[in-house]
Amino acid sequence: MTLSRREFMQWMAASTGTAAVAGCAGIGGPSAGRVVVIGGGYGGATAARYIKLWAPDIDVTVVERNDVFVSCPMSNLVLGGNAQIGNVTFGYDGLRSRGVNLVRDDAVAVDASARQVRLASGKALSYDRLIVSPGIDFIYDSIPGLKSADAQNRVLHAWKAGPQTVALRKQLEAMRNGGVFVFHIPMAPYRCPPGPYERVCQVADYFKRAKPKSKIIVLDSNPDITSKKGLFLQSWNGVYKGLIDYRPNSELQDVDVKGMTVKLTFDSVKGDVLNVVPPHRAGDIALKAGLITANQRWCGIDWLTCESVAVKGVHVLGDATLSAPAMPKSASMANQHGKICAAAVIALLKGQPVHPEPAIMNTCYSFVDGRAAMHVTSIHTYNPAQKTLLPVKGAGGVSDKASDTEGAYAWGWARNIWADALG
């Protein structure tokens, strides 16, 4: 027996007891709920993809201001001339093919009582559950010299991968052999604890090859190297000996853009290329939505669901969160938050119990040149008594040394996480 399309729809409606409504999320069933995700980065893309994988009957819409995803992990290699920006840039077709709606727009406001997100285009999106994964924005208030757009275009952070990464690479290429690269690192917590020190290695690798008379001055606000210290020092005191001048406790006071000078409490350091990473906080939309609860910077959440402690029905992921103890702000972690949140949002929308003891893991690779990398890894499980995720003692660890084998693993890690978030 063959059924016409109309007969098939009638049969589906009768057999499931539901009307097969055009535009509904699941095949032949009504939507089990509407989820809006702000930010298609590591946290948001993963949450969107996993909700659709695990519950195709939920409508998922991602609002993302950029038309492509540019990965911060591996972007330091672009600065070293060891990768191209195209190697870390991806489209959103993988998410679309999974049934996720992509809206290219800027989320400008959240009305939690009406359960609506307002977009810069003037449109509004209604939600049953909202996921906010906006990454970070920078705090320029304490750096008067960098307040103007013109100053920010000249002294780059390149701490959000994309046009600034390419522009900083161009500045390094244009610098004379014998020039000085001055790099300022903010006080922790910042996104990617080992990221600044990997950047130093990448620039050193480039200088060693192309501008051997040049120098790197690292001005670190922190009292010491915050991650993989022994491993970074192996290369700084080894292949890059004499190239890197590391100065801890270098608290930033201001930047004189005209004079190309970084001003510290007791010192001023002049350079040919300045790279200043300002302190960060949760992305602007988290501030506007009233999600920031800690130190005017980060969003407190319930680690069982990633739901905000301040605004009901809104979940926050990734770098924007107030990190659990010993939890880094990393792509690995944002990806894992995305999965905790996806499972919890599905359970909450369907009236099912939320998983009571999630366990997640983190791995961060750092390249010391174009081929060799090393890792740090940790496992974090939910502690019901303390109501937070805590690192498991004795699990994880760091490499003995950087190696080309780990460099290959690092690219494997990257390909996997890109497929896991966007595939």
Ligand X SMILES: Cc1cc2nc3c(=O)[nH]c(=O)nc-3n(C[C@H](O)[C@H](O)[C@H](O)COP(=O)(O)OP(=O)(O)OC[C@H]3O[C@@H](n4cnc5c(N)ncnc54)[C@H](O)[C@@H]3O)c2cc1C
Interface with ligand X by CB under 6 A: which residues?
38-44, 63-66, 72-73, 75-76, 106-107, 133-135, 159, 191-192, 195, 283, 285, 318-320, 329-332, 334, 364-365
As a whole number of angstroms, the distance between CA 196 and CA 273 comes to 16
The least CB distance from residue 132 to ligand X, in Å, is 8
Nearest residue relative to ligand X (C-beta): 41
In terms of DSSP H, where are the helices of 308-377?
A: 331-350
Nearer to ligand X, 152 or 332 (CB): 332
Strands (E), 265-305: 268-270, 273-276, 280-282, 301-302
Min separation Cβ 136 and ligand X, Å: 7
In the bound state with ligand X, the residue whose beta carbon lies nearer, of 192 and 274, is 192
In angstroms, give the least distance from the CB of 175 to ligand X.
Answer: 19
Whether residue 181 contacts residue 173, with contact meaning beta carbons closer than 8 Å, is answered with no
CA distance 277 to 293: 23
Nearer residue to ligand X within complex by CB, 186 or 195: 195
- List the beta bridge partners of residue 145: none
When the beta carbons of 43 and 271 are compared against ligand X, the nearer one is: 43
Least distance to ligand X, CB of residue 84, Å: 15
Instruction: Pick the closer one to ligand X by CB: 29 or 133.
Output: 133
Amino acid identity, position 321: T
The CA distances from residue 188 to 146, 193, 194, 394, in Å, are 20, 8, 11, 24
Nearer to ligand X by Cβ, of 151 and 376: the residue is 376
Shortest Cβ 201–ligand X spacing (Å): 12
Smaller CB distance to ligand X: residue 236 or 298? 298
**In whole angstroms, how close is the CB of 285 to ligand X at the nearest point?**
4
Least distance to ligand X from the beta carbon of 134, Å? 3
For ligand X, the closer CB: 32 or 378 = 378
* 60 contacts 356 by C-beta, under 8 angstroms: no
Minimal distance, residue 306 CB to ligand X, in Å: 12
Minimum distance, C-beta of residue 146 to ligand X, in the bound complex (Å): 17
Q: What are phi and psi of 172, to 5 degrees?
A: -65, -40
The closest of 166, 183, 148 to 276, measured between CA atoms, is 183
Nearer residue to ligand X within complex by CB, 29 or 305: 305
- Which H or E run includes 234? helix 229-236
Six token digits for residue 374: 């090393």
Q: Tell me whether residue 34 or residue 199 sits nearer to ligand X (CB atom).
A: 199
Q: Return left, alpha or beta for 240; rule: phi > 0 is left, psi -120 to 50 is alpha, else beta.
A: alpha
Alpha-carbon distance of 359 to 381, in angstroms, equals 4
The beta-carbon contacts of 171-175 under 8 Å, at least 24 apart in sequence, are 171/273, 172/79, 172/203, 172/206, 172/273, 175/211, 175/214, 175/272, 175/273
CB of 404 to ligand X, least distance (A): 17
Write the CA distances from 1 to 7, 8, 16, 20, 347, integer angstroms: 11, 11, 20, 21, 39
Nearest-angstrom CA–CA distance, 300 and 308: 6
